[in-house]
């Protein structure tokens, strides 16, 4: 590193020593590195999700499955149910696949980036984060917080996602050869608490004297983002079939949208098409309201249809289960279907919790 890069990393590490966030998956500065299992689990959970949302899920997972071997031995349905509400459910399937691969290899995570990248579901970011934080390897760790810090520090004017190559080069230039894990976490903490998307607290920033965006007076403009494309609007139906204070639930296919999750039956809506499939029973059906829900690539209006008949025999030939309404919160429904369940239960005057 040149002198300016040393100044940046030194100033940031000094700040981190005094201001590091105390998080359940971390070791504080000066402590031995954390368990690689806990680092990996937290990093997977934190993708596209806030720290506040992850804390309770992390506690639940580590209490129930305290080691990678314990997670590897878990039932897939139980893991998917425990993940319900965190979103991006492919992460949960990859989580289990990775745990099983590590368990099959003796229960030890590889310590190098290439070895970690070879595991199922580990992309460049997660592999770098685990290598740096759990094993002290020099690795360039770039998440959304780091993108923001680096783009401001070096005045990267190219819009995302095209700017990512330049951001990575700059991040590489300031990543030290020692304390790489602390440096990666310091960058994350700085972006989360000081160099925030709106109203950055530049007067408190340890890098303010080196920051080109702050000198320009327009730090909040960075990172520059390309205009968002409008997400397509899709429509579908979900079916509420109730009998003897229980509701009919199905298991979604293992691959695809919300794969492997328990759910209400639906009409086959997807990111590409509106739903057109048949109802699980011939009827009669009443309209039960509409749930509006946003996915990454599309918006969905899910129309709830409530069964008002009393002939359920044809369900015997279908795959599903009757789930007690009083424990519907334990079914692990993804957020979309949990919303639909609350709508149906509110209409019948019962508490959904």
Question: In sequence order, what are the residues at sequence separation of 6 or more whose Cβ sits closer than 8 angstroms to the Cβ of residue 162?
Answer: 226
In sequence order, what DSSP letters do the residues of 28-53 get, joined into one string? -TTSPPPPHHHHHHHHHHHTTS-HHH
Of 43, 158, 218, 242, catalytic: 43
Active site (annotated) includes residue 43: yes
3-state secondary structure of 321: strand
Rounded CA gap, 184 and 28, in Å? Answer: 13
Rounded CA gap, 6 and 184, in Å? Answer: 15
Look at strands 233-240 and 299-307 and give their pairing: parallel
Rg (C-alpha) for the chain, rounded Å, is 24
Half-sphere exposure of 31 (CA within 13 A, CB side): 13
Tell me which DSSP letter residue 86 carries: S
Residue 49 phi, psi dihedral angles, 5° rounding: -140, 145
Rounded CA gap, 110 and 102, in Å? Answer: 9
Rounded CA gap, 268 and 115, in Å? Answer: 39
The residue with tokens 């790489």 is 180
With vertex at residue 79, the alpha carbon angle to CA 76 and CA 85, rounded to the nearest 5 degrees, is 130
Dihedral Cα 172, 174, 180, 185, nearest 10 deg: -100
Is 45 exposed, middle or buried (CB count within 10 Å of its CB: 0-12, 13-18, 19+)?
Answer: buried
Q: What are the residue numbers of the active site?
A: 43
């Amino acid at each position: 590193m040149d002198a300016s890069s040393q100044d940046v990393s030194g100033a940031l590490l000094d700040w981190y020593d005094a201001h590091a966030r105390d998080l359940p998956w971390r070791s504080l500065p000066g402590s031995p590195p954390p368990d690689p299992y806990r680092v990996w689990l937290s990093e997977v959970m934190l993708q596209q999700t806030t720290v506040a949302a992850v804390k309770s899920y992390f506690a639940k997972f580590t209490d129930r499955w305290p080691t990678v071997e314990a997670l590897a031995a878990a039932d897939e349905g139980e893991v998917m149910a425990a993940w319900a509400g965190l979103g991006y459910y492919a992460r949960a399937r990859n989580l289990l696949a990775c745990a099983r691969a590590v368990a099959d290899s003796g229960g030890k995570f590889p310590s190098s980036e290439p070895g970690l990248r070879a595991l199922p579901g580990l992309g460049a970011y997660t592999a770098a984060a685990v290598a740096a934080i759990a094993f002290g390897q020099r690795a360039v760790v770039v998440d959304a917080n780091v993108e923001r810090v680096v783009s401001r520090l070096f005045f990267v004017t190219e819009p995302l996602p095209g700017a990512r190559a330049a951001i990575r080069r700059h991040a590489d230039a300031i990543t030290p050869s020692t304390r790489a894990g602390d440096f990666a976490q310091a960058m994350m903490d700085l972006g989360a608490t000081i160099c925030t998307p709106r109203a950055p607290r530049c007067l408190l920033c340890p890098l303010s004297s080196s920051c080109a965006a702050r000198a320009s007076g327009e730090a909040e403009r960075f990172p520059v983002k390309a205009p968002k494309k409008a997400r397509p609007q899709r429509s579908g139906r979900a079916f509420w079939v109730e009998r003897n204070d229980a509701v009919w639930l199905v298991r979604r296919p293992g691959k695809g949208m919300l794969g492997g999750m328990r759910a209400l039956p639906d009409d086959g809506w997807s990111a590409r098409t509106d739903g057109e499939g048949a109802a699980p029973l011939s009827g009669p059906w009443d309209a039960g309201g509409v749930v509006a829900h946003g996915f990454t690539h599309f918006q969905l209006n899910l129309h709830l249809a409530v069964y008002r008949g009393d002939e359920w025999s044809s369900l015997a030939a279908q795959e599903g289960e009757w789930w007690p309404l009083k424990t519907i919160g334990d079914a692990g429904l993804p957020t979309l279907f949990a919303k639909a369940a609350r709508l149906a239960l509110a209409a019948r005057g019962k508490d959904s919790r």
